[in-house]
Amino acid sequence: MPESFRVPLGEIRPSQLYLDESKLSSVIEWFDFESPNYDPLPIRKIGGDWTLTDGHSRAFAAYLSGADELRLVRDTDDISVPTYKQCLSWCEAEGITEVSNLAARVVTSPTFEEEWIERCRSLDP
């Protein structure tokens, strides 16, 4: 596994508009809020910004714990950068530019599927 590093929470951009409440609940069950210990979250520089490519629920749990930085690892997966750029554009348009902005964006699994997953699928050729 590549070496992990830390970045201040306020410098990390989410790449999705919503959090799935069932995923968040699952993370909250095991997350130690007093002494957070989680696998590093995948991140990539996109358009000059540190951007989460996964792990939004874990990032939000870390935010709730009072963390001021996140443990990260460079995402080396083959991702569609244009897709992520579009997701970042949607996030920017709706004011989701920091992990903390997801606080009012926790939705049910069916709503997450309908509002986010289907929106992302619309980008597939």
Render each residue's pLDDT in the chain as its tens digit; 125 residues.
689 999 999 999 999 999 999 999 999 999 999 988 889 999 999 999 999 999 999 999 999 999 999 999 999 988 888 999 999 999 999 999 999 999 999 999 999 999 999 999 898 76
| Residue-wise DSSP of 74-125 | E--S---HHHHHHHHHHHHHTT--SGGGGGG-EE-HHHHIIIIIHHHHTT--
Domain of 42 in residue numbering reads as: 5-121
Read off the CATH number of the domain in which 100 is found. 3.90.1530.10
- Tally of structural domains, the chain: 1
Strands 12-13 and 41-46 come out as unpaired
